[in-house]
Amino acid sequence: MWTRRKPAVLRAALPAVIAAAIAFAAASCERDKIVNYGEARKRMVEREILGRGIEDQRVINALLKVPRHLFIPEEHMHYSYYNLPVPIGYGQTISSPFIVALMTQELELKSTDRVLEVGTGSGYQAAILAEIAGEVYTVEIIEPLAKNAEKRLRELKYDNVVVVLGNGFWGLPDEAPFDKIIVTCAPEEIPEPLIEQLGDHGIMIIPVGPTGFQYLIKVRREGDDITTEEVTPVSFVPLTGEHGDAQDEGQD
């Protein structure tokens, strides 16, 4: 049943001295960069997350911890801690920090939850989920994005994340059911395979609607009863291949 609710001394020694000076300067710059990114991440959370309805301390802690700049291409890294979606290549983006926080909070995660993410993208959302949930399975249809995300997540020691190359429209039936499902691209209707893979008492958060007019929808399952609730208007990359014949992964 369906219901719906609304980041300089001897010349011979000069080369060694110069090399040492360069190495020291580079190390200092790297150290400063790390400090600056950490401070920027904290400011981002203070300005863009707190006070905007994000109250789950586990979500706040995850955003304070996960280095968003490491999930963003170098040419766009200066945008890492602005509340903006940022291009990650292949026509895809990393979602704004607030949207990542909101969607994560709406999942009402538990430490034992098995989570399915449709649309790995950079892997940032998966890292946020992995800070809170027990297991995260994330599906990405664009092979370079999937490989890069998997490498990045392994380097950051997120051993509870499994990256799968595939078409997320169909979910991962061999791993179902999932306690929570999060979708980072917008179909015009909620894919039935994802509904089927949502476990009892499960929650799915998904943007739904045509390009330019989408709502973030929260889906709950209680036995055979499925209820949906509109959370907020959003703008996501569309899910264009509803039956698996085109790209269906978008923001993360």
Active site residue 96: no
Residue 58 DSSP code: H
- Around Cβ 153, how many Cβ atoms within 10 Å? 25
Residue 186 DSSP code: B
Side chain identity at 162, as an amino acid letter?
V
How far is CA 10 from each of CA 18, 21, 24, 149, rounded to the nearest angstrom?
Answer: 12, 15, 20, 49
CA distance linking residue 57 with residue 94, whole number of Å: 22
Secondary structure class of 208 (helix, strand, coil): strand
Contact 124, 193 (CB under 8 A): no
CA distance linking residue 107 with residue 49, whole number of Å: 17
Catalytic residue among 95, 96, 111, 235: 95
Query: Which residue, among 39, 237, 9, has the nearest Cα to 142 in the 3D structure?
Result: 237
Instruction: List the catalytic residues.
Output: 95
